[in-house]
Structure 1
Amino acid sequence: MDFIYINQNVLDNLFYILVSIFVFFVLIDNLKTSLKNYQKILMTACMSLPSILCMKFPIYIDEYCIHDLRQIPFLIGILYGGWPVGVALLIILLTTRFFIYGFNSLTLIVYIVIFIITALFSKKFSMFNRKNKLIFSVLLSLFLGILTTSIAVIMSDSFRVTEAYMFYFIFLPPVVMFFVVYIIEILSEAINLRSKITKLEKMEVVSQLAASISHEVRNPLTVVKGFIDLLKDPDLSPEDRERYLQHVVRELKSAETIINDYLTYAKPTTEDIGIIFIDREIRSIIEMTKPMANMNSVKISEELAPGITRGNIQHFKQCLLNLIKNSIEAMPNGGEFSVVTTVSKFDIIIEISDTGVGMSKEQISRFGEPYYSTKEKGTGLGSMVIVKTIETMNGKIKIDSVLNKGTTIRITLPSYTS
């Protein structure tokens, strides 16, 4: 067949169909809904538009017949949306056809036949794998082309099967169907695969958290069990008993801290959202950590500009407390620690700096991962709390660090004006 038939109008029809399919998957992917009724409505809208455009801008017009690729989105809608989508598309297609070109009984019969045959196989089509869908769609399109041509020849004495008609109505649609179905299957698999990967990532985090919690909580509980066994000794002196009890309390507090960090990370943060006065909360946390800083010979300086943001106050305080504690603990031999806030119309920047041991590039890249910590006895839960809290508040965190020189953590949060 001569390629003279592949003209601008053919490419326009293909463009309408392919763009509508891409729009359908973009909307499905971004709106994140699994409601079948919504998907069917969207399928109807996205397949009716190219059908109308194909009729409005046909491939060619001669004295005998008008040709276009309106049957391709019609078939796609029925195969992937079922008979409800097919009925809606049939009504839209026939209404548009009769409005543009006038009523024609042959057109009515042809598209009703196409609808009935395709709808009968739509359920079975949905259970096919990609290969079988491709084969079936090509054979169905070819069969329907031959069948409807035969009906037209029988019903109309003036109907002529020209070479152009054979190309546009018999041979071209199966080829287009092959590529359209292939594209749809690829896009569907890509969306499903990304969804599965997201679920696997969540399961991996849960697995790591479970391993971290069980490992870290077991250690203090083992110590507690050992001291409780020692407390059973009837000849134990009061001094030793008091000392053992202090060890028990300390280890239980350690286990409690680990569990609280985990709960802070895992607990939904959609409730208790309120106004946070940044300078006030940071000043309060600094006062809480001053005894710890004094014990480590750490000098604290602050330069706090008043600013307001929104979020969960308790989680925000826990986040800042973890960051400040990390900075102080990174300077066991003393050093300087500073907190500086900068407020603009749109952003609040919190800059926390220390002159501690610093972090390597690998440690920075893994900051916030479960079961990874720069501390010898750390769980990584504290850094996860920090990252999750900032993300929940629509903020960003950036870490700059040099080993044995210090670390600067820059948090950017949206500014709120009441």
Structure 2
Amino acid sequence: MGTYINQNLLNNLFYILSSMFVYYFIYDHGKWWKTNTRHKQLLLIICTGVPLLLCMKFPIYIAYNCVHDLRQIPFLIGTLYGGWTVGSALLLILLAVRFFFYGFQPITVAVYFTMFIIAALASPAFRRLNRTDKLFASMWLTLLLDILVTVIAVVFFDFQVIDSYIFDFILVPPFAMLFIVYILETLKDAIIMRSKLVKIEKMEIVSQLAASISHEVRNPLTVVRGFLQLMKSQPMPKETQERYMHIALEEIDRAETIINNYLTFAKPTPKKEEVLIVGQELERVAHLLQPFARMNGVHLIEKCQPCMIIGNAEYFRQCFLNLVKNSIEATPIGGTVTVSCSCKGEEVIVAIADTGIGMTAEQISRFGEPYFSTKEKGTGLGAMVAVKLIETMNGTWKIDSKIQKGTTITITFPSATTRG
């Protein structure tokens, strides 16, 4: 066996394998090769022609009337994958180089012309096969062609078959073809799969964006509905009605702002930062959500110390509207949601505590993921946007929760004095 497997044989295999990797590397990174079939065929001719030349230049052995190497493998690969056009170009290259290096031999013309005709005829059917069928088809086709051309050489040219010829020309090429076609199909599938993944990711982004817009617009609409139901369910002074109408109109304007500027929310970059009085902002959020809390039979309590941070007011309200609304929805009738803020050194701590259903450790770890929610019909997008906005304002967050006892979300911001 050692006399058959030598350095030249391994070199021939290396030339072929390297060229196949180069082919897909160039094809994957160059748009020009993908523009039309001719360009792809040209690349295939180059990447199978080069190892063909190298195999002939550095053969396994040279015997009388037979310069033996593995040129048939890139020749068959190019013909099977490229059809008549690529095969005919490779045949011309092969014959020209063979005659230039070693002179004219009729046996060479007969052997490779036979291989070319059969492989080119089989090419359309071969390319339609699935991956597994291609592997076995390439192996058996190569074996049958090797046997056929050997019979032609023996019958018509009185060719002498020796042991090394049987091993290197009949036994090795079918298994080499199997291995190389496997690599080619794997690389092709990887490129196709990556292309599909890019498309899926783009569709996922569009889907998330659409769902997020729907989710965020629903918050102000919920507030408007709450005020309208209050106005309809009980008589109230005109001043109160006007105040409720004013708040409802503000929420409709906010919904319009969300729709017009949601791309900014998708990648938050505050256009305007200012000193925010946290207590006032949270009081506003609690006031907006009081009707929603009453509708759900939940007591909403707000208590804050005088604290200040630097941030974007619209983002701050949007963030805590999402978080407080989620807490209300997670709290059963008669429960309590408490929103508080306090100053601790150079930090401002905001806590949202509820007496709701609580969260498991897994649910806490997945908090903020899109499309993950503890609610039956939730999307998880409110928490996702809230987490993103907290990070945008240089804040951190943590969750403490116990099943059927409640959840506390603690958000920490640097105080305005720290950043000043």
Question: CA separation in 2, counterparts of 1:336 and 1:94?
Answer: 85
Alignment partner of 1:285: what SS?
Answer: coil
Cα displacement string for residues 135-171 of structure 1 (whole angstroms, at most 9, x for unaligned residues) = 21111111211222233234424x3222222222222
Question: CA separation in 2, counterparts of 1:402 and 1:241?
Answer: 38
* Residue 99 of structure 1: how far off its partner (Å): 2.3
Alignment partner of 1:290: what SS?
Answer: strand
* Residue 76 of structure 1: how far off its partner (Å): 0.9
The answer as to whether partners of 2:212 and 2:382 remain within 8 angstroms in 1 is no
The reply to whether residue 5 of structure 1 matches residue 9 of structure 2 is: no
Question: CA separation in 1, counterparts of 2:42 and 2:230?
Answer: 71
Equivalent residues in 2 for 1:318-333 (5 A)?
Answer: 332-333=341-342
The answer as to whether partners of 1:60 and 1:67 remain within 8 angstroms in 2 is yes
**Aligned equivalent of 2:140:** 139
* Residue 106 of structure 1: how far off its partner (Å): 3.1
* Residue 5 of structure 1: how far off its partner (Å): 0.2
CA RMSD of aligned residues (A): 4.4
Give, as a single letter, the amino acid of the residue that structure 2 aligns with 1:19.
Answer: S
Question: CA separation in 1, counterparts of 2:260 and 2:390?
Answer: 13
Question: Against the structure 1 CA distance between its residues 41 and 237, is the aligned structure 2 distance closer, same or farther, given a 3 Å change threshold?
Answer: farther
Cα displacement string for residues 284-336 of structure 1 (whole angstroms, at most 9, x for unaligned residues) = 833xx235579563266xxxxxxxxxxxxxxxx99x99599979x99944578
Equivalent residues in 2 for 1:222-261 (5 A)?
Answer: 222-225=222-225, 227=227, 238-261=238-261
Equivalent residues in 2 for 1:117-136 (5 A)?
Answer: 117-136=118-137
Alignment partner of 1:4: what SS?
Answer: coil
Equivalent residues in 2 for 1:70-85 (5 A)?
Answer: 70-85=71-86
* Residue 224 of structure 1: how far off its partner (Å): 3.1
The answer as to whether partners of 2:371 and 2:381 remain within 8 angstroms in 1 is no
Give, as a single letter, the amino acid of the residue that structure 1 aligns with 2:165.
Answer: Y
The answer as to whether partners of 2:318 and 2:386 remain within 8 angstroms in 1 is no
Cα displacement string for residues 108-153 of structure 1 (whole angstroms, at most 9, x for unaligned residues) = 3332221221111111111212221122111111121122223323
Question: Against the structure 1 CA distance between its residues 137 and 332, is the aligned structure 2 distance closer, same or farther, given a 3 Å change threshold?
Answer: same
Structure 1 unaligned blocks of 5 or more: 268-280, 301-316, 338-353, 388-396, 409-418
Question: Against the structure 1 CA distance between its residues 97 and 190, is the aligned structure 2 distance closer, same or farther, given a 3 Å change threshold?
Answer: same
TM-score (ref. length: structure 2): 0.66
Equivalent residues in 2 for 1:336-347 (5 A)?
Answer: none
Question: CA separation in 2, counterparts of 1:258 and 1:380?
Answer: 16
Question: CA separation in 2, counterparts of 1:183 and 1:366?
Answer: 38
**Aligned equivalent of 1:197:** 197
Alignment partner of 1:61: what SS?
Answer: strand
The answer as to whether partners of 1:217 and 1:255 remain within 8 angstroms in 2 is yes
Alignment partner of 1:5: what SS?
Answer: coil
Question: Against the structure 1 CA distance between its residues 61 and 127, is the aligned structure 2 distance closer, same or farther, given a 3 Å change threshold?
Answer: same
Please, which moves more after superposition, 28-37 or 11-20? Answer: 28-37
Question: CA separation in 1, counterparts of 2:257 and 2:384?
Answer: 12
Cα displacement string for residues 226-261 of structure 1 (whole angstroms, at most 9, x for unaligned residues) = 65677789x875423421321222221332343245
**Aligned equivalent of 2:308:** 298
Equivalent residues in 2 for 1:19-418 (5 A)?
Answer: 19-31=18-30, 34-37=34-37, 38-157=39-158, 159-225=159-225, 227=227, 238-264=238-264, 285-286=272-273, 289-290=274-275, 297-298=307-308, 332-333=341-342, 356=349, 370=370, 378=382, 380-381=384-385, 406=412
Question: CA separation in 2, counterparts of 1:77 and 1:372?
Answer: 49
The answer as to whether partners of 1:298 and 1:335 remain within 8 angstroms in 2 is no
* Residue 103 of structure 1: how far off its partner (Å): 3.1
Give, as a single letter, the amino acid of the residue that structure 2 aligns with 1:199.
Answer: K
* Residue 200 of structure 1: how far off its partner (Å): 3.4
Give, as a single letter, the amino acid of the residue that structure 1 aligns with 2:70.
Answer: L
Question: Against the structure 1 CA distance between its residues 367 and 161, is the aligned structure 2 distance closer, same or farther, given a 3 Å change threshold?
Answer: same
* Residue 209 of structure 1: how far off its partner (Å): 3.6
TM-score (ref. length: structure 1): 0.66
Give, as a single letter, the amino acid of the residue that structure 1 aligns with 2:308.
Answer: V
* Residue 216 of structure 1: how far off its partner (Å): 3.1
**Aligned equivalent of 1:271:** none
Q: What is the number of equivalent residue pairs in this alignment?
A: 342
Structure 2 unaligned blocks of 5 or more: 281-305, 324-338, 352-360, 374-379, 399-409, 415-420
Question: Against the structure 1 CA distance between its residues 224 and 298, is the aligned structure 2 distance closer, same or farther, given a 3 Å change threshold?
Answer: closer
Question: Against the structure 1 CA distance between its residues 215 and 131, is the aligned structure 2 distance closer, same or farther, given a 3 Å change threshold?
Answer: same
Question: CA separation in 2, counterparts of 1:60 and 1:290?
Answer: 83
The answer as to whether partners of 1:110 and 1:151 remain within 8 angstroms in 2 is yes
Percent identity, aligned pairs only, is: 48
Question: CA separation in 1, counterparts of 2:207 and 2:197?
Answer: 15
Question: CA separation in 2, counterparts of 1:242 and 1:402?
Answer: 38
Question: Against the structure 1 CA distance between its residues 108 and 63, is the aligned structure 2 distance closer, same or farther, given a 3 Å change threshold?
Answer: closer
The answer as to whether partners of 2:44 and 2:82 remain within 8 angstroms in 1 is yes
Question: Against the structure 1 CA distance between its residues 101 and 356, is the aligned structure 2 distance closer, same or farther, given a 3 Å change threshold?
Answer: farther
* Residue 262 of structure 1: how far off its partner (Å): 3.2
Alignment partner of 1:44: what SS?
Answer: helix
Question: CA separation in 1, counterparts of 2:366 and 2:112?
Answer: 60
Question: CA separation in 1, counterparts of 2:111 and 2:413?
Answer: 74
Give, as a single letter, the amino acid of the residue that structure 1 aligns with 2:272.
Answer: I
